[in-house]
Amino acid sequence: MVADRWEPAAFKARVDDVLRRFVAEEAERFADVDPDLGPVADQLEASVADGKRLRAAFCYWGWRAVGQPDNDALVRAAASMELVHAAAVVHDDLIDDSPLRHGRPTAQIALRGAVRHRPRSVSAGRSLAMLVGDLLMGLAGQLFTTSGLPAAYLARARPLWSVLARDLIAGECLEILRTGAPPDTVDSLKVIRYKTAKYTVEQPLLIGGALAGAGERIRVGFSAYGLPLGEAFQLRDDLLGLFGSPERTGKSNADDLRGHRPTALLAETWRVADDAERQQLRALLGRRDPGAEGLHAVRELMCRLDAPARIEKMITVRVEEALGVLAELGVPSPAASALTALAESVTVRVS
C-alpha cells in the first residue's frame, strides 16, 4: 500500500501489476478471435511494458489532495491514464515515423513482421499499429469504468474524458499542421500545452480530483499547477530528444530534426538566428538521415545561439510557477509533498 509517505517505486509496482493483468487478459481475449491476431495481441502487451507511471501518479494524488484515502479501486482508475498514454505513444510514433521507443522497435516496425510476406507490408504494419493505438484508448475507458469505484464517483469524472481526448487530438493535429512552417515559439508552446501538458499532468489531476469530489478552488489550483508543469515536462523532453543519450532515452537523437518538428527548442534557435544560420537550418531540417555530422551541426548552432539555456530557463520558470500555486493551495501534507516530488521528477530527468 502507498502510505502517507510518497514511495514512487511502490506506487509504480501497483500500477504495473494492474496494467499487466488487465492488458494480458484483454490481449488473450483478442487473440482468441483468430490465431492470426497473435502478433497484434503481443503488441498490446508490449505497449504497456514500460513507463514511469507519472500520469497515474498525478491522478492518484489528485484524489488524495482532496482528502480521500488510499484505495485499490482508485489505483485501477488511475492506471487507465497509462493506457491513454500508451495509445498516444503508438499514434505519435506513427505520425512521426519513429523507429524506436524505449530502445525497442515501435509498434509499426514490430508489426511489419506479421505482414512481411504480404503486399505493401510497410503500410500494413502502420495500419495494424494505428488499430493497436485505437484499441488501447478503448481499453483505457474500460479499465476506468470497471475500476470498482462507485458509479456516482465515476459519473463526476466521465465528462473530463471527452475533454482529454479532444485536447490531445487537437495538439497532435496542430503539430502536424505546423510541421515545416517557420518556427515560432508561441505556436510551439501551444502545441506543447495541448499535445502533452494537459494529458500528462493537468487532466489526470482533474480526473482524480473529480472522482474525489473536488471543489472549484481545488480544480482551479490543479490547472494552475498542472499546465506549467506539463509544459516544463515537454520542454525537458525536447532537450533530451536532441541532446540526451539514446541509451537512456531509448530514442534516436535525430527524430525531431528528421521530422522538422515544431519544438520550442527549434523555435528559439530560429528566433535569434541570422539569415545565414537560418539557411543552414533549412538545409538540415527534414533530411531523412541527417547523419552524425548534421546532428552535430544543429547542436553546435543551437548551443552557439544559447537556445538550450533559454529552454532551461523556461523550464525553471514553469516549475517555480507550479510549486508556487501548490504552496498556496493548502492540500494535505502528504499530497503536497508528493506533488512537490513529482514536479522535480518530471523535469529533472535523463530519460
Of 59, 110, 6, 22, which Cα lies nearest the Cα of 334? 6
Distance CA 27, CA 148 (A): 21
What pLDDT is stored for residue 187 in this prediction? 95
What pLDDT is stored for residue 241 in this prediction? 87
List domains and CATH numbers for the chain. Answer: 8-347 (1.10.600.10)
Q: For each of the chain's 351 residues, which pLDDT tens digit applies?
A: 445 789 999 999 999 999 999 999 999 999 999 999 999 999 999 999 999 999 999 999 999 999 999 999 999 999 999 999 999 999 999 998 888 888 899 999 999 989 988 888 999 999 999 999 999 999 999 999 999 999 999 999 999 999 999 999 999 999 999 988 889 999 999 999 999 999 999 999 999 999 999 999 999 999 999 999 999 999 999 999 899 888 887 777 777 777 778 899 999 999 999 999 999 888 888 677 778 888 889 999 999 999 999 999 999 999 999 999 999 999 999 999 999 999 999 888 776
Helix/strand number for the chain, H first, E second: 17, 2
What pLDDT is stored for residue 2 in this prediction? 47
What pLDDT is stored for residue 293 in this prediction? 86
Distance CA 133, CA 89 (A): 8
What pLDDT is stored for residue 286 in this prediction? 66
What pLDDT is stored for residue 102 in this prediction? 84
Distance CA 47, CA 88 (A): 10
Question: What values do phi and psi take at 101, rounded to 5?
Answer: -150, 130
Distance CA 342, CA 47 (A): 23
What pLDDT is stored for residue 206 in this prediction? 98
Helix then strand then coil, in percent of the chain rounded to 5, is 75, 0, 20
Of 201, 255, 295, which Cα lies nearest the Cα of 92? 255
